[in-house]
Structure 1
Amino acid sequence: MIPLARPPLDDELAEALERRTDTLVRVCADVSRARKEWNAARPERGRLRDILAGMAPGVERCMYCGDSLGTSIDHFEPLKEAPLRTFDWLNHLLACSMCNSNQKRDLFPRAADGAALLIDPSRDDPYDHLRLVLNTGRYKHRDERGKATIEVFGLNRGDLVLGRQHAVPRTEAMVMARRAALDAGDDRRADRLVISLLRHPFIDVLYAMVRAAASPGAAMVMDPQVIPMLADPVFHGMMPGLRRS
């Protein structure tokens, strides 16, 4: 999971969502009515899906696991919890069916004071609450929010852990290939490799490598040759939030 930048909506779509929300408020909508109105808002859902796909990691990857294709709009705070937020742009994220329908469902744990525990990558830097251990491919929590997020989304399920393990040497190889291209004066190839890095699944591995490169134990979790290459401004310009070229 990486931080993501949420763009503003165009006026037309923002006004359409506001009108939909006004309808829900007028009828004091419950979850059933909210779902009905959401399903009926096909034009708005299509436009939201396109915008979310553009802000998602990789090529339209899930904003939670970063691996699978984002197939649906997830209401971060579920309709069961907040039916009046059905059309709230700040409550929409792109998720894969595994993270959304199989893992999260209507789960929305809260702290004792009622605050949401799940990490919203469009508002939070996930690394404030959890971190990716590069040599195992597993996430470890830093606090209660990180723990809840790992558990609810199943971020340490077997396929994700294995995928991240394989992504480490692939990412290292591409970073070194970029350095070789720059040394050879092939700026075009170097730029293409950066774009490819940004569009690969498991971009959280690259994010974790950039974050870890300055730490004393960096050489224990990645190829020592790669560490100085990650100091390149092109990678640090990606944080917070890996910006797509």
Structure 2
Amino acid sequence: MYCDDSRGTDIDHFQPLAVAPLRAFAWDNHVLACSFCNSNAKRDAYPVGADGVCLLVDPTAEDPARHLFLMLRSGEYGHHTAKGEQTIRVFGLNRPDLVQGRQNAFCLACSNLRDWYRQQQNGNPAAHQVAQALRDSPFIDVVHAMTRLTPQLTNSVVDEETVPALEHWRSVYGS
């Protein structure tokens, strides 16, 4: 739920037990997390602003894109808001393994989009399977970030061979 690396092995209490022990069994306080995010990064961290509102993006209740943006070529996250900034810091979203994973995912997503588009144009039923594999892949945040690119940015971030595939993907699966 935090780093989008698809290695969810732990159940994390979004609001830590050290902060809110009475929320130990509240279902909306349980999220699937990788062991690094849960045990090494977040632990009991739960930063709050002066108004007492949590400064972490709650992935079960908020659209992370309101607070974070992914720089596709570098694989790093930037922030729009204080919540985004704290989320990057607390979860270590720009740690080297995640950055490398997102860079690899961007390369693979471009290739898979081109393959999917070619199969779509040829009426190949395998196109559906390629699309499903892409939607189920680790670092799906990369594909979501690609679909949210403005037309002006698309041409500078994605190679020219991938642009029509991405435009068609948006028309089929939305942005």
Return the TM-score normalized by structure 1.
0.68
What is the identity, as a one-letter code, of the residue corresponding to 1:195? Answer: Q
Q: CA deviation at 1:72?
A: 1.0
Q: Do structure 1's residue 203 and structure 2's residue 140 form an aligned pair?
A: yes
Partners of 1:79 and 1:234 lie apart in 2 by 43
Q: Do structure 1's residue 223 and structure 2's residue 159 form an aligned pair?
A: yes
Q: Do structure 1's residue 144 and structure 2's residue 45 form an aligned pair?
A: no
Equivalent residues of 1:71, 1:96 under 8 A apart: yes
What is the identity, as a one-letter code, of the residue corresponding to 2:152? Answer: P
Q: CA deviation at 1:225?
A: 2.9
Partners of 1:142 and 1:69 lie apart in 2 by 26
Q: CA deviation at 1:194?
A: 1.1
Q: CA deviation at 1:226?
A: 2.3
Partners of 1:160 and 1:174 lie apart in 2 by 20
What is the identity, as a one-letter code, of the residue corresponding to 1:186? Answer: N
Q: CA deviation at 1:228?
A: 3.3
Q: Counterpart of 1:78?
A: 16
Q: Which runs of 5+ in 2 are unaligned?
A: none
Match of 1:100 among 38, 43, 56: 38
Q: Do structure 1's residue 190 and structure 2's residue 145 form an aligned pair?
A: no
Alignment of 1:163-174 (within 5 A): 163-174=101-112
Q: Counterpart of 1:34?
A: none
Q: CA deviation at 1:153?
A: 0.2
Equivalent residues of 1:210, 1:235 under 8 A apart: no
Q: CA deviation at 1:171?
A: 0.2
Partners of 2:135 and 2:142 lie apart in 1 by 11
* Identity between Structure 1 and Structure 2 (%): 47
Equivalent residues of 2:6, 2:139 under 8 A apart: no
Partners of 1:177 and 1:229 lie apart in 2 by 8
Q: CA deviation at 1:68?
A: 4.5
Q: CA deviation at 1:217?
A: 2.0
Match of 2:29 among 76, 91, 101: 91
Q: CA deviation at 1:234?
A: 3.1
Partners of 2:151 and 2:69 lie apart in 1 by 13
**C-alpha spacing 1:192/1:144, structure 2 compared with 1 (3 Å):** same
Partners of 1:197 and 1:103 lie apart in 2 by 28
> When the two structures are aligned, how many residues end up with a matched partner?
173
Alignment of 1:39-78 (within 5 A): 63-78=1-16
Equivalent residues of 2:88, 2:94 under 8 A apart: yes
